[in-house]
Amino acid sequence: MDTNRPSYIDTLQSGLLNKKVRQAAEILQSCRLCPRQCNVNRLGGEKGICRTTDQAVVHEYHAHFGEEAPLVGRFGSGTIFFTHCNLKCNFCQNFNISHKGTGKPVSDVELADMMLKLQEEGCHNINFVTPSHVVPQILSAVTLAAERGLTLPLVYNTSAYDAVETLRILDGVIDIYMPDFKFWDPRTSDVTCGAPDYPDAARKSILEMHRQVGDLVMDASGLAKQGLLIRHLVMPDGLSETREIMKFIASKISVNTYINVMPQYHPSGDIGSVKSLRRQITPQEHALAVQYALEAGLTRIDNR
């Protein structure tokens, strides 16, 4: 893959991008974009778990300086925050967006306009936050934006609760995949997200992401151009899961994987009776999580 320009430009010029737009849109008639497999007719106004019909809903978009160093650079990552979510963690730090639905429906043209505006502002990439349930809308908007001069790398910023079939449609479109590998134990993902299949789905989806783009590649200035960047939010009392996740990344993905071991968990959302989620993690827990990554052989650790 040529890292000197985003992959979607060649895909557009070959005519394949328009085919992918049609392929993804067809899925909305009986939606199976993600592992939830709701099979609702979103084109007909029906809503599944993600509560989204045929239009994407956007909470906000702007240059973001809180992302990983290879994405932020000098002028920020051009983030577009999509409303709603297909995973719906009960502890979500953006609960109003993911669960309560704060945002505005936008057309594909409006979504393309956002990308071009972020490019005009000097952002280094277009960062789709929580994109799994709006892949068809993203593909359509990227086509429109690329035809009007979009040339920035695309970042797919996801919970990793993605269907491999959907990710394959994105092959040749997304330059940088940034999944958050959250849980290893199905019991944890069941209690927090009602998704006991999350660990299996995340393993399969991240393997597919790496197959498409490989390890993270940066230019001379340290900006990401293509590849995989994995996040892992360290949870209270969740270190056994962290250890298994780091082993998997090193042995099954790549020992050269760029990872961010994130310490910012805090009680939020609707954690209900899950006692361990009622506190922040300790510095010792985060340090041990980083140690597990190093023990697994992972050294490309975001050091913000």
Q: In the prediction, which pLDDT does 1 show?
A: 46
| C-alpha separations of 59 from 98, 102, 103, 109, 200 in Å | 10, 6, 4, 16, 30
Decide if 258 is inside a domain: no
Q: Who's near 166: CB < 8 A, 6+ residues apart?
A: 24, 27, 33, 34, 132, 135
Decide if 304 is inside a domain: no
Count of domains in the chain? 1
Decide if 187 is inside a domain: yes
Rounded Cα–Cα distance for residues 298 and 199 (Å): 20
Strands 224-233, 258-262: pairing is parallel
Short-list 70, 1, 65, CA closest to 229: 70
Q: Which two tokens mark 6?
A: 């985003």
Can you tell me which residue has the tokens 């990439």?
125
Decide if 175 is inside a domain: yes
Label residue 15 left, alpha or beta by phi (over 0 means left) and psi (-120 to 50 means alpha).
left
DSSP character string of 196-243: TTHHHHHHHHHHHHHHHH-B-EE-TTS-EEEEEEEEEE--TT-HHHHH
Rounded Cα–Cα distance for residues 64 and 46 (Å): 33
Decide if 32 is inside a domain: yes
CATH code of 95's domain: 3.20.20
Short-list 265, 275, 181, CA closest to 230: 181
Decide if 236 is inside a domain: no
Decide if 238 is inside a domain: no
Question: What string of pLDDT tens digits covers the 304 residues of the chain?
Answer: 455 789 999 999 999 999 999 999 999 999 999 999 999 999 999 999 999 999 999 999 999 999 999 999 999 999 999 999 999 999 988 888 998 889 999 999 999 999 999 999 999 999 999 999 999 999 999 999 999 999 999 999 999 999 999 999 999 999 999 999 999 999 999 999 999 999 999 999 999 999 999 999 999 999 999 999 999 999 998 888 999 999 999 999 999 999 999 999 988 888 877 888 889 999 999 999 999 999 999 999 998 7
Domain that holds residue 40: 7-230
H or E segment to which residue 168 belongs: helix 164-170
Decide if 74 is inside a domain: yes
